[in-house]
Amino acid sequence: MGHEQLRSLSLEIETMRSAMHETASTHGLFHAETIRISQILDYLILQYQKLAHESSLARLR
């Protein structure tokens, strides 16, 4: 289950990263939409890191 969630989050992260680059190129780094996408990306990366850590702990048990 964890592996599939990690894969799904990884795909979401890449999608949001592309969206952020596109928005930043179009509107600039400090545009509200760029910042909003950046915050979502931060959240997704944090979720990925938490899940990866939990998965590695589960393997050690």
Q: Where are the chain's structural domains? A: 2-60
Length of the chain: 61
- pLDDT score recorded for residue 1: 57
Q: Give residue 9's pLDDT.
A: 98
Low-confidence stretches of the chain (pLDDT < 50) are: none
Looking at residue 60, what is its pLDDT? 84
27 close to 34: Cβ distance less than 8 angstroms: yes
Architecture of domain 2-60: Irregular (4.10)
Is 49:2 a contact under the CB 8 Å cutoff? no
Q: Are 40 and 18 in contact (CB under 8 A)?
A: no
pLDDT of residue 58: 84
